[in-house]
Structure 1
Amino acid sequence: MIRRASALVALVAAFAWLPAQAALFADDEARKAVLDLRAQVKQNDEAQKAKIDALSAQMNEMLLPLRRSILDLNGQIEALRSEVAKLRGQNEQLARELSDTQRKLSEQVQVLESRLRPLEPQKVTLDGKDFQVDPEERRQYDAATGLVKRGDFAEAEAALQSFLRRYSASGYADSVRFSLGIAQYGNRDCKDAIVSFKAFIAAAKDHPRAPDAALTLANCQADLKDVKGARRSLEDLIKTYPGTEAAKAAKERLASLK
């Protein structure tokens, strides 16, 4: 009985040990599986990291020329910016210099114009005729005719003859020929006065002073005792310029000639 009870206890203990042993075996396998999985994950991570590093190295190798190009381009851009800034400064300086030059040129032009203005041709209206004369021409004319007005006939004759030699085509020429005849007549140089008056009338028959010139011409002839010539001149005056004061004076002079 006692032996049977001992065997039974031993058999029960044996059955109780079997699940514990099985559980122990199951934990070892699970642990091994976990370790294997971890190792595989680590291996995969390392392989993935190696691939990433390789790709990164390739990328860096590929991007290195681009980076260098970008750096070179940045350097060129900075150089261009510096050059543009330099050129902008030069342009501003040139603009200032140009403005100063234009201002100085304008001032010089104004000064030059003020100096040249007295030398520019001037419009003159004389005896109903408009024409251009230069300042020196006008000055000499005014001086010569001024001598006639003052009665300085000798100086006036020389000045008027000099004027005609220098300005033979002047708009003043007709007036100067008339004034020359008057100066010569004033000097009692009737022969030269007759030549001057005839030249004046021939060149300017319709001149406002032509009747007076014809009358003075007749007076010169009369002073030289050329009565025939004086009569002819007076008759031509009355015929050519009827109704003028000179024509009225010519009629009176003609009646007094003997």
Structure 2
Amino acid sequence: MIAFNASAALFEDDDARRAILDLRQKVEASQLRTTEELRRGNEENVQLRRSLLDLSNQIESLRSEMAVLRGQNEQLTRGISDVQRSQKDVAQGVEERLRKVEPGKVSVDGRDFEADPAEKQEFEAALAHLRKGDFAAAQTAYMSFLKRFPQSGYRSSSLFWLANAQYALRDYKAAAGNFRILATSDPQHPRAPEALLSMANCQVELKDVKSARKTLEELIASFPQSEAASAAKERLVKLK
């Protein structure tokens, strides 16, 4: 009985040792797995930190590139603005120069036509003399204008004002001649009726009443609806 109990105890001790060994092996295996997992985790953490660092560097690099691009874009925008301003200045300069040399539309005495800038300037300068009462200067200016621009759209108006300047200077013969040229060469001009009326006045001043009456009758017949014709009728009565 004692021997059996001893054998049983030995058996139980062996089982316990095996159990302890198994447990130890399991613990060691678990520790190894844990250690391996920790090692892998550390490696993954290191790799993750490295990846994050690389990503941070890439982001910083992108920010730098974007800053450079923004700077280049600002320079490009300024460059485009400068070019546009330059083009605008050039266009305005060209337009201004063209205005000084190219014909432009003008309206005088109810007529529209094209006139060179120099032509317009010279006509207006002559008219300015007349308005100031400097009839001698106006006469000289208009005669020069008609010689320089014989085909000008200002021609008929220039003849009219030249004749008025000559009338003011009491050169009635020259005035009558220029009034006649206007009425004959451009009978459709708005000043034509007035030119005939003024011509008759010149003839009266020259004591040529017969010619004055004839001119007034011509005016009434040619322009019966004009204000000048109404004035001509009144003067005809006075000349009887």
Letter matched to residue 199 of structure 1: I
The 1:80–1:200 alpha-carbon spacing in structure 2 relative to 1, beyond 3 Å, is: same
Instruction: State which drifts further: 72-81 or 138-147.
Output: 138-147
Please, which of 198, 202, 210 is the counterpart of residue 216 of structure 1?
Answer: 198
Partner-residue secondary structure (3-state), 2:188: coil
2:223 to 215, 221, 241: 241
Matched AA of 1:43: Q
* Aligned positions, number: 222
Match for 2:188 among 184, 205, 208? 205
- Distance in 1 of aligned mates of 2:63 and 2:176: 90
Shift of residue 162 of structure 1? 3.9
TM-score, normalised by the number of residues in structure 1: 0.56
The one-letter amino acid of 1:246's match is A
1:196 to 175, 178, 188: 178
Aligned to 1:38, which of 20, 30, 36? Answer: 20
Could you say if the C-alpha distance between residues 150 and 47 of structure 1 is closer, same or farther in structure 2, counting changes exceeding 3 Å? Answer: closer
Larger CA deviation: 121-130 vs 227-236? 121-130
Shift in CA distance, 35/167, structure 1 to aligned 2, threshold 3 Å: farther
Contact 1:211 1:247 survives alignment (8 Å): no
Specify the code of the residue in structure 2 equivalent to 1:205. Q
1:183 aligned counterpart, secondary structure: helix
- Aligned partners of 2:136, 2:51: CA distance in 1, in Å? 99
Q: What is the match of residue 15 of structure 1?
A: none
- Picking from 135, 143, 157, the partner of 1:175 is 157
SS for the counterpart of 1:244 is helix
Return the TM-score normalized by structure 2: 0.59
In the alignment, which residue of structure 1 is the partner of 2:63?
81
SS at match of 2:218: helix
Q: What is the 5 A alignment of 1:109-188?
A: 143-149=125-131, 151-164=133-146, 165=148, 169=152, 173-188=155-170
Cα deviation, residue 32, structure 1: 2.0
Secondary structure at the residue paired with 1:217? helix
5+ residue gaps in structure 1? 1-17
Assess, with a 3 A threshold, how the Cα gap between structure 1 residues 64 and 150 changes in structure 2: closer, same or farther. Answer: closer
Q: In terms of Rg, which structure is larger?
A: 1
CA separation of 1:132/1:27 partners in 2, compared to 1, >3 Å: closer, same or farther?
A: farther
Q: Structure 1 CA distance, aligned partners of 2:25 and 2:61? A: 52
Asked if the contact 1:200–1:210 (Cα under 8 Å) also holds between the matched residues in 2, the reply is yes
Cα RMSD over matched residues? 5.2
Q: What is the deviation of 1:219?
A: 4.5
Which one-letter code corresponds to 2:235 in the other structure? A
| Worse overlay, 220-229 or 240-249 | 220-229
Quick one: structure 1 residues 150 and 250, their matched pair in 2 at CA, closer, same or farther if it must change by over 3 Å? farther
CA deviation string 1:116-151 (max 9, x = no partner): 8xx999998865567899998777656533533554
- 224-233 or 148-157, larger mean C-alpha shift: 224-233
- 1:247–1:213 CA distance, 2 compared to 1 (3 A): farther
Q: CA deviation at 1:56?
A: 7.7
